[in-house]
Homo-oligomer: A and B are copies of this chain.
Amino acid sequence: MAPVTAAASGEEMHALVERMYPLCRSITGDGVRATLEIVGEYIPLQVQEVPTGTQVLDWTVPQEWNIRDAYIADTAGNRVVDFAASSLHVLGYSVPVSATMPLSELRAHLHTLPDHPAWVPYRTSYYKPEWGFCLAQETLDALPDGEYEVRIDSTLADGHLTYAEHVVPGQVPAEVIVSCHVCHPSLANDNLAGIAVATFLARALAERTPYYTYRFVFAPGTIGAITWLARNAERVEQVKHGLVLACAGDPGRLTYKQSRRGDAEIDRVMRHVLLASQRPHRVAEFTPYGYDERQYCSPGFDLGVGSLSRTPYAGYPEYHTSADNLDFVSPEAMADTLALCREAFAVLDRNRRYVNLSPYGEPQLGRRGLYDALGGRSDTKQAQMAMLWVLSLSDGEHSLLDVAERSGLPFDTVADAAGALHGAGLLKA
């Protein structure tokens, strides 16, 4: 596989988003399956099908929803709202309907955004049987009173919930989980960009065997993550770190939302890398709302899982509307999100605690070829400073990230110094 380069992967990620965009995803159904099939062309996926009615933690896997067609037509037979034009036009999980009714009666089933009259909202009703259409306010305003034919050709029946996993094996079985939701219909930033970045991140990590094992989970929001957690009770014990990816392609600055713990290693790594990279960014406190960090960070699991977005959940006007489209996400933004993930995981992967095996006084680095022979100069090199810092703080309490932050030296310099000292027998991992 060719190494992932930023420019190339940006365009490729956008192309992947474009392919997935028209599909009508929901928390179950063929839209999810078709999406995972496309992703499977990039990275091998293990697809899981979990039957309707399966108990998953406090929840039950619902019936599977599929839809073939849906429209509102006027008496002349013109489709004034048509599912074929956008998967957003139908209320997610709509029960089937086939009826003729006056606009006045139909209105109770119509969802619009009066403040953004040209945009179509995204609405669902997963757990309460309902039907409905989403349309632009200006479309609604243009509809004359009168009778309309409404038809939703959907089925809600026992079936399965679908999710997929991809594993990049590491040197140790301890895992980093990367999770993104795959349940939103034609919304580009709010699910497709995250899927694309996760896909290319998996490919990039596979270029050389990482330290940790990286597990990618592509699952419908909430019920999908809950299903994964329910079916992986033992595996959860070895999930040491994690990241939920969402809203990964909009033009905003990067936002890292901390885990519930706030001081998990992933929190410290992300804060460090965002700061060190000098990207404009924001670090947000944990809230029990947003994406599937809600589930991973629920108090029973309390995993070290944060969430990386550009503009976060509900933070942009286009959120959950038809304006979250292919123009709203850019190759550059996705490439930048991907690059940040790679930088962060490079630090996470090398961040270790060592024990100085010669802790009484400084070891004589000179006779081990680790130190300049000529004394008295004040321009001591960064690499030597890094060795002194690693020796000083390697008491089993401090990680290399601690050393980098306390010394102000770049993490890579510190990690390289630790490698040299380890090679010289002065450190124990």
Binding site for B on A (CB under 8 A): 57-59, 92, 121-128, 130, 222, 225-226, 229-230, 260, 285, 287-289, 294-295, 297-302, 314, 319-320, 356, 358-364, 366-367, 373-378, 380, 385, 388-389, 391-395, 406-407
Chain B residues within 8 Å of A375, by CB: 92, 123-126
Chain B residues within 8 Å of A121, by CB: 376
B288 near A58 with CB under 8 A, answer no
B58 near A364 with CB under 8 A, answer yes
B225 near A361 with CB under 8 A, answer yes
Chain B residues within 8 Å of A124, by CB: 374-376
B299 near A395 with CB under 8 A, answer yes
Chain B residues within 8 Å of A364, by CB: 58-59, 127
B389 near A359 with CB under 8 A, answer no
Chain B residues within 8 Å of A289, by CB: 380, 385, 388
Chain B residues within 8 Å of A298, by CB: 359-362, 391-392
Q: Residue on B with the closest CB to A374?
A: B125
Whole-angstrom distance between the Cβ of A359 and the nearest chain B Cβ = 3
A58 near B362 with CB under 8 A, answer yes
- In the docked arrangement, what's the CA distance between A391 and B260, Å? 12
B300 near A360 with CB under 8 A, answer yes
A288 near B388 with CB under 8 A, answer yes
**A/B interface sample: 17 pairs, CB < 8 A:** A58-B358, A58-B363, A58-B364, A121-B376, A126-B375, A127-B364, A127-B367, A128-B373, A222-B362, A287-B389, A288-B392, A295-B362, A298-B359, A298-B361, A299-B356, A299-B391, A299-B392
Partner of A320, one of B59, B362, B376, B389: B376
Known interface pairs A57-B360, A58-B363, A288-B389; 17 further A-B residue pairs with C-beta atoms within 8 A, sorted by A's residue number: A57-B361, A58-B362, A121-B376, A123-B375, A124-B375, A125-B374, A127-B367, A130-B373, A229-B360, A260-B392, A288-B392, A295-B361, A298-B362, A299-B391, A300-B360, A300-B361, A301-B361
Residue among A92, A298, A393 with the highest chain B CB neighbour number at 10 A: A298
Chain B residues within 8 Å of A361, by CB: 57-59, 225-226, 229-230, 295, 298, 300-301
Chain B residues within 8 Å of A362, by CB: 58, 222, 226, 288, 294-295, 298
Known: A125-B373, A229-B360, A362-B295. A320 touches B288 (CB 8 A): no
Q: Residue on B with the closest CB to A233?
A: B360
Whole-angstrom distance between the Cβ of A137 and the nearest chain B Cβ = 16
Whole-angstrom distance between the Cβ of A231 and the nearest chain B Cβ = 12
